[in-house]
Each structure stands twice: as C-alpha cells, then as structure tokens.
Amino acid sequence: GAYQRNRKAQGRDVYTVRHAEDAGVKMSNEVQLACFKVGEERYAADIMLIKEIILYRKVTHIQKAPEFIEGIINLRERVIPVINMRKRLGLHATEPTAATRIIITKVEGKSVGVIVDSVLNVLRVGKGDIQPPPRIIRGIESEYLSGIVRDGEELILIFDMERVLTSTEKVRLGEFSEP
C-alpha cells in the first residue's frame, strides 16, 4: 500500500507516506487519495500533500490560541500546531478513540497536524474522475474542497489542505508553528 508501517521508539506506530514516484508508479493521469472519516462522513486528501499519519497523542492546549487550534504536539523535537477537523466542520468534538489519527500536512510551508476520527484507505482515481465541488455541500463551505469523487455509490469530498484555513487563520497559525 501507499502507507508503510514503521516501528518507532516507544512502540508507537507511525505511518510514513511512500509517494507514488518512490514506488515507480506512473502518475500522469492518476491521483492517490488518503481517505479518512470525520463524524459519519468519508473525506479524502491528495496523498502528495500529506507528510505522515500518526497515532493520536495528547495535545497541549495553549492559552489565547485561536478557536480553530486544538493545541500543539511535539513531533521529533518540533512543535506542531494541531487543528481538530470536527470543530472545523462544525461538528461537536468527541474524545479520541484508538482509531483517531493526526494527519501531518503542510500549510504554506509550515507543518500542521489535522485530527481525524480514523484513516481508512488509499484510493487511486483518474484525474478526470474528480469533479469540481458544488458551492455548498453537506453544510461545508466548498472553499475547503478541491473536488468530489465517486467511490461506488459513495461520494467522497476531497479537502484542499492548503484551504482548510482562511488567510487570517494562516497568519495566526504562524504564531504557533515552526517551519
């Protein structure tokens, strides 16, 4: 699969994303999407925008942090701000479970963690199979989305990880992150 399971210190499971180029896959017309759940819905993000996926770990809350920042984590001696995708989507926050993961991505060159309820699978789709998102779908502003794709009978919304934050939020995020 596109995720390679590594054993790290302290027995933590860490999934490192092996990009398709590394595996020698020809990617011209194909996109690999990491599928994940938030609430009852299935979403995806382009695997090329994901650095790694880690098990949930305790997030340190910060006084006076903007509402959208859940807190920070220490990942290999780097401080990374974390966003709770449930809150971002207007869902009530729940306690983390054994399936909860933090997707490490980059927003404007800075590492950011995104808490999701679970990571499901990797879906390979043709670029032509990705449709532009409708203006408003399932109550989510389409500005967060880069597209929508069908997997059997199910529609999967594709997040644009760069657009999950507004420009004002990106400026605030910079106050809490290292490059």
Q: Residue 149: what pLDDT?
A: 95
Three-state DSSP state, 174: helix
In whole angstroms, what is the distance from residue 12 CA to residue 51 CA? 17
Whole-number Å distance between alpha carbons of 96 and 117: 7
Q: What is the mean pLDDT of residues 112-120?
A: 96
Quote the pTM value.
0.78
List the single range of 54-58, 126-130, 175-179 with lowest mean pLDDT.
175-179
pLDDT digits (tens, 9 = 90+) for 134-143: 776 655 667 7
Question: With bands split at pLDDT 50, 70 and 90, how would you rate the model's confidence at 163?
Answer: confident
How does residue 4 score in pLDDT terms, banded at 50, 70 and 90? very low
Task: Compute the average pLDDT of residues 140-168.
Answer: 82
pLDDT digits (tens, 9 = 90+) for 50-81: 999 999 999 999 888 877 789 999 999 999 99
The pLDDT assigned to 10 comes to 39
pLDDT of residue 143: 73
**CA–CA separation, 91 and 99 (whole Å):** 18
- Between β-strands 154-159 and 41-46, what pairing exists: parallel, antiparallel or unpaired? parallel
Q: Report which secondary-structure segment, H or E, holds 111.
A: strand 110-116
Arithmetic mean of pLDDT, 142-163: 87
Question: How confident is the model over 84-111, as pLDDT tens digits?
Answer: 999 888 888 899 999 999 999 988 888 9
Residue 179 scores a pLDDT above 70: no
